[in-house]
Amino acid sequence: KAGVTQTPRYLIKTRGQQVTLSCSPISGHRSVSWYQQTPGQGLQFLFEYFSETQRNKGNFPGRFSGRQFSNSRSEMNVSTLELGDSALYLCASSHDTGGVSYEQYFGPGTRLTVT
């Protein structure tokens, strides 16, 4: 079975621009979560989608948004980029069937650099 894929792998943007990152979960997984990893703040939860609905959201400003499509693929968008948004953005999918804590499988991440 193919793993979680994320595109693009690397991205360089300028302050004030917006960016869209894409994630394709493992086949059959309906839950997709997003995390931000930085040296200073570590790994932080952004949001989680299940069957096209956002079920949970972390403590990030409204510039960070996401969505999920009917095929479970997910995108996250960051508008008005700031230097502090430079990070590795990780997507994870899970074979969630009832809202309990299932293991999550992570993609390789998208490395975003904001200049």
| Cβ atoms of 68 and 74 closer than 8 Å | yes
Mask for 41-80, x = binds other proteins (CB under 8 A): -xxxx--x-x----xx-x----------------------
The DSSP call for residue 58 is: -
According to the binding rule CB under 8 A, does residue 34 interact with other proteins?
no
Kindly tell me which of 20 and 58 has the beta carbon lying closer to other proteins. Answer: 58
Kindly tell me which of 16 and 108 has the beta carbon lying closer to other proteins. Answer: 108
Number of helices (H), then strands (E), belonging to the chain: the values are: 0, 11
